[in-house]
Structure 1
Amino acid sequence: MSKDYYLDWLDIRKPFSEDYEFLSLNTSGVLKIEFRYGNKPIILYSPPQAINNTMATLLDTGNFVLRQLHPNGTNTLLWQSFDYPSTLIPTMKLGVNHKTGHQWVLVSSLTDLVLDPGAFSLEWEPKGQELVIRRRGKVCWRSGKLRNNRFEYIPEEAQRMLKYTIVSNGDEDSFSFNSTNDKLTPRWSFWISGRLSCNGGYVMAYVKADLCYGYTNNGGCQRWQDLPKCRNPGDLFVKKTLVPNFESVSYETNPAFGYSDCETSCWSNCSCDGFRAFWRNETGCKFYHWNSSKNYVVDTSVAGVEFYMLENTGNITPHNGKSNVKFHVDFVFGLLP
C-alpha cells in the first residue's frame, strides 16, 4: 500500500476533520466514523441484518473495501469507497452500474468546512459520450464529445498524461482514467464554487464551470432560457473585502445552503447586489441590497469583510474568444504526488 494513496483516501472519502476520532468496524458488520466528542457517528455501511466475518482493506489503488468472508474461502463485496468519489483518481468510475442501479458521480462539498454533498456534480453521459457538470441537477457545462482521447472543453494540460477508458455493456456504462506516468497521480476535484480542479501532476488546470451563468455557450457552458431580466452578459460575482452598510440586508439561515445556493438566490433576485455566508461554517446566506455605491465603503484603515459582489465585466466571457476554450493554468514547480 503506497502512502500516496493512503493520503488520498483520507482526503477524499466521507468528511474527516479534527473532530473525528477513528474509523471502526464492529462485530455486526457496521462500518462507521466515530466522533471524538461523542457526537452521532457517520455510518458508511450498515447491513440489513447483523453479519460477522467482515474485513475492511485499503487497496493499493486507494479503494477502501468492506467484504464479508465465507467459510469456503470466497468473499462478498459489501461496500467500497470508490462508489462515492469526492476526488476522482485513477480507476475511479463515473457512470452507472446496471446490476445494482448505483450511479458513480463526483460531487462537490457544501462548504469547505461542511463536507456534505454540495450543489455540483460531474457525471458521465454515455449516449453523448461526454462529461457534464450539473448545478442542483441542471446542466451548466458539457465537455464536448470524446475524440482521439481528448475532450474539447477540458484543458490539454489536464489531459496530456491521461488515458481514458469507456465501458458500455449490460453490466455498466462508465468513464474512468489512468495516468500514462506511473510516478504521478492525477486528481480531479470540485471547489465549492463549481470550478473543477484538474491536477495533472506538474500543472494545475481548471474547468471554470463556476463562471457558467447561462448567458453563453462558449467553452462548454450551457445557455439557459430562464435568465433573470435584470442580469446581463458579463455579470458575475467577484470576491471583495469591503466595509458594507449592514442596514440593507436580508438573511437565509438554513444550514443546508452553501456558497452556490447563496449565489443562485442572489442572482435570481434583482434587488440583490452581493452575498456572504451567514454561519461560521460557511453555510446560510447574508444578502446585501444596495441602491448605489454609497451603501458600501472602501476603507483600508479598518478591517473589512469578505463577500461576493455583483459586477459587470463588460460582456467579457470567461473564455478565450478565438480558441473557444475555457481554462486557467498554474505552473507548479516541483513534483506533485
Structure 2
Amino acid sequence: MEERSRTTTIFILLLVSLHIQKTHNAEIDIITDSLFLTEEDTLVSPAGVFELGFFRPGGSDENRYLGIWYKKISVQTVVWVANRNFSLTLPSSRYLLKIADPGVLVLMNNITNDVVWSTNTTSSANTIAHLDDTGNLVVTDKKMIVWQSFDYPTDTLLPGMKFGKDFLTGKEWYLSSWKSSQDPSPGEFTWSVDARSYPQNLLKDGSAIKFRGGPWNGLRFSGASGLHKNTIFTYNVVINETEVIFTYDLYNTSRVSRLVLTPSGVVERLVWVEDEKKWQMILELPKDLCDSYNICGGYGSCSSVTLSRCVCLDGTRLLPRNPKGWETSDWSGGCVRRRSLDCENGSDVFIKYSNVKLPDTHTSWFNRSKNLKECEEMCLKNCSCMAYANMDIRGEGSGCLLWFNDLIDIRVYFDGNGGQDVFVRMASSELGNYL
C-alpha cells in the first residue's frame, strides 16, 4: 500500500511538472489574475499579427524590456515598450506580467514582489488583459476598457493610434524617440501637436523646434508634401473645441506601415517589403535644409532650387534686414518691408503668394465658417493681422486663418504638389510696381 501511494504521488508530481512545463515557452491570448506572462511566454493577438513579450534591444546582453512587436515579420520591430525607464537587469525568470489586486496590470519581480511598471488603474476581479491585432494592449473590466497602450505611445504611431490632444482632460498623444537602438528610454526628440492656436505638428529637440510639419489644410499637412501621390494611407482629422486628433488608416489593410521617430530625430514613414524582408522608407522629415525651422527668419522664404537657399518672400517688396549677413548665408535676421504699412489710413493691400508652406501658426486665429472674402475683411480691419489664408483648400476653399506678428518658417514648393495660397499684407504703394 505504501509503495502504491509513493507511485501515485510521483505520478501526480509528474503531471504537475508537465503542466508547469506546458505553461512556459507558450503563446497565450489573455492575462488574468491566475494566468501570468513569464519571461518565457508571449501574449499573441487573435490573428497573430502582434506579439508582446520580453526582448533585448539591439542584442543587449544585460537589459531586457517588455514590449510589443510584429509577430509575422522576420526582423524584430518593436512598436511599444512598457518599462522604458526601468530595464530588467536581474537574471531571467524573475519577472511576471500579471493582474494584481485591485485589477491593475503589473510587471513585477516574482521573488521580491517589487513592481517595475504598472497601468496604475483600479478595477474589479473580472479584469483581463489582451493584445489586439492593431497592436493595442488592452486592459478590460467586464468588457469596458480601463487602460490601453494606444494612449501611451512610445516612438511609433500605428494605424488607428491617436496623435494630438484632448482639451477637456489635458491628455496628449505624442511620440518620443528612443535614446539609441539599444536604449528605449525617452530620448531628446519628440513629435507632437502644437494646439495653442491653429494646430500644427512640431518636431522638437528638447525644447527647441527642429521642424514644423505645418497645419492641416484638408488634403495634407502644409509642411509635409512628400506624399502628394499617397496610395498607402488616409488621414482622419478632428479639430474642434474639445480635441485635436489625427489618426491614419491603411488603404490596404494587408500592407504593413508605421510612422516612427528615430533616435537621431527623424520622422520616418516605412512600409514592410516582404519579398526583400526589409523596411522600405518612403518619407523622412525633415528631408532637406529648407525643412530646418525658421532658417530664413521673418518673411524669409526657403527655396530648394536656388543657390542661396533663403530669399525674401518677394525680392522687390521685401528686402533682407541684414544684407551683408545674407551674403555669408546668415539669414537669421529675415526680411523687412521696403515700404511701411499704412493700416491706420486703410490703404494696405494683400498680395497673393502661391505654393507656400503656411507660416508658423503659433500666433494665429481661425474660424471655420468664414469664407476667404470675409477673412480678408477681418484681417484688413486689424492692424496686427499680417496675412490670411483658407483653412481648407478642398474645392473652392473654406475657413479663415489669420496670422499676427511676423510670418516665419516659410518655404516655397516648385513642383506644384505642396503648399497653398497665402495673402500677405503690404503697403498699397507697392502695387504701382506691378501695374
Which of the residues 98, 101, 117 maps onto 2:186? 117
Unaligned runs of 5+ in 1: 70-74, 226-231, 235-318, 326-337
Which secondary structure does the structure 1 equivalent of 2:180 belong to? coil
Q: CA offset at residue 192 of structure 1?
A: 0.7
Q: Aligned partners of 1:196 and 1:41: how far apart in 2?
A: 33
**Compared CA separation, residues 160 and 222, structure 1 to 2 (3 A):** farther
Q: CA offset at residue 321 of structure 1?
A: 9.6
Counterpart amino acid of residue 226 in structure 2: P
Q: Verify the 8 A CA contact 1:96 1:103 in the aligned structure 2.
A: yes
1:80-132, Cα deviation, whole Å (9 max, x unpaired): 10011121010101111234321111111122222121111111235434321
Q: Aligned partners of 1:324 and 1:136: how far apart in 2?
A: 34
**Compared CA separation, residues 144 and 65, structure 1 to 2 (3 A):** same
1:155-170 pair list within 5 angstroms: 155-156=226-227, 159-170=230-241
Q: Aligned partners of 2:111 and 2:211: how far apart in 1?
A: 41
**Compared CA separation, residues 84 and 176, structure 1 to 2 (3 A):** same
1:41-74, Cα deviation, whole Å (9 max, x unpaired): 4323123x675321212223221111223xxxxx
Q: Aligned partners of 2:296 and 2:105: how far apart in 1?
A: 43
Q: Verify the 8 A CA contact 1:196 1:208 in the aligned structure 2.
A: yes
Which of the residues 165, 172, 179 maps onto 1:103? 172
1:175-227, Cα deviation, whole Å (9 max, x unpaired): 11011112113201121110112114454134244x88xxx6x13634398xx
Aligned to 1:223: 295
Which of the residues 161, 171, 186 maps onto 1:92? 161
1:1-337 pair list within 5 angstroms: 1-6=46-51, 9-10=68-69, 11-15=78-82, 21-34=95-108, 41-47=115-121, 51-69=124-142, 75-86=143-154, 87-126=156-195, 127-151=197-221, 152-156=223-227, 159-202=230-273, 203-209=280-286, 218-219=290-291, 221-223=293-295
- Give the number of the structure with larger relative contact order, counting CA–CA contacts within 8 Å between residues 6 or more apart: 1
Q: Aligned partners of 2:134 and 2:141: how far apart in 1?
A: 20
**Compared CA separation, residues 39 and 321, structure 1 to 2 (3 A):** farther
Q: From the CA coordinates, give the structure whose radius of gyration is larger.
A: 2
Q: Aligned partners of 2:241 and 2:413: how far apart in 1?
A: 42
Q: CA offset at residue 171 of structure 1?
A: 4.2
Q: CA offset at residue 40 of structure 1?
A: 5.3
Q: Verify the 8 A CA contact 2:161 2:248 in the aligned structure 1.
A: yes
Counterpart amino acid of residue 179 in structure 1: L
**Compared CA separation, residues 137 and 77, structure 1 to 2 (3 A):** farther
Counterpart amino acid of residue 30 in structure 1: V
Q: Aligned partners of 1:96 and 1:39: how far apart in 2?
A: 36
Q: Aligned partners of 1:196 and 1:158: how far apart in 2?
A: 19
Q: Verify the 8 A CA contact 1:197 1:207 in the aligned structure 2.
A: yes
Q: Aligned partners of 2:215 and 2:131: how far apart in 1?
A: 34
Give the percent of matched residue pairs that are identical in Structure 1 and Structure 2.
23
Q: Aligned partners of 1:154 and 1:220: how far apart in 2?
A: 15
Q: Verify the 8 A CA contact 2:49 2:133 in the aligned structure 1.
A: no
CA-atom RMSD in angstroms: 3.9
Q: Aligned partners of 1:176 and 1:133: how far apart in 2?
A: 17
Q: Verify the 8 A CA contact 2:178 2:184 in the aligned structure 1.
A: yes
Q: Aligned partners of 1:2 and 1:154: how far apart in 2?
A: 35
Report how many aligned residue pairs link the two structures.
226
**Compared CA separation, residues 153 and 224, structure 1 to 2 (3 A):** same
Q: Aligned partners of 2:255 and 2:219: how far apart in 1?
A: 19
Counterpart amino acid of residue 130 in structure 1: Q
What's the TM-score, normalizing by structure 2?
A: 0.44
Q: Verify the 8 A CA contact 1:159 1:200 in the aligned structure 2.
A: no
Q: Verify the 8 A CA contact 1:93 1:176 in the aligned structure 2.
A: yes
Q: Aligned partners of 2:146 and 2:189: how far apart in 1?
A: 27
Q: Aligned partners of 1:113 and 1:233: how far apart in 2?
A: 38
**Compared CA separation, residues 153 and 106, structure 1 to 2 (3 A):** same
Q: Verify the 8 A CA contact 1:219 1:324 in the aligned structure 2.
A: no
Counterpart amino acid of residue 181 in structure 1: N
Which secondary structure does the structure 2 equivalent of 1:165 belong to? strand
Counterpart amino acid of residue 31 in structure 1: L
Q: Verify the 8 A CA contact 1:158 1:204 in the aligned structure 2.
A: no
Q: Verify the 8 A CA contact 1:90 1:185 in the aligned structure 2.
A: no
Q: Verify the 8 A CA contact 1:59 1:65 in the aligned structure 2.
A: yes
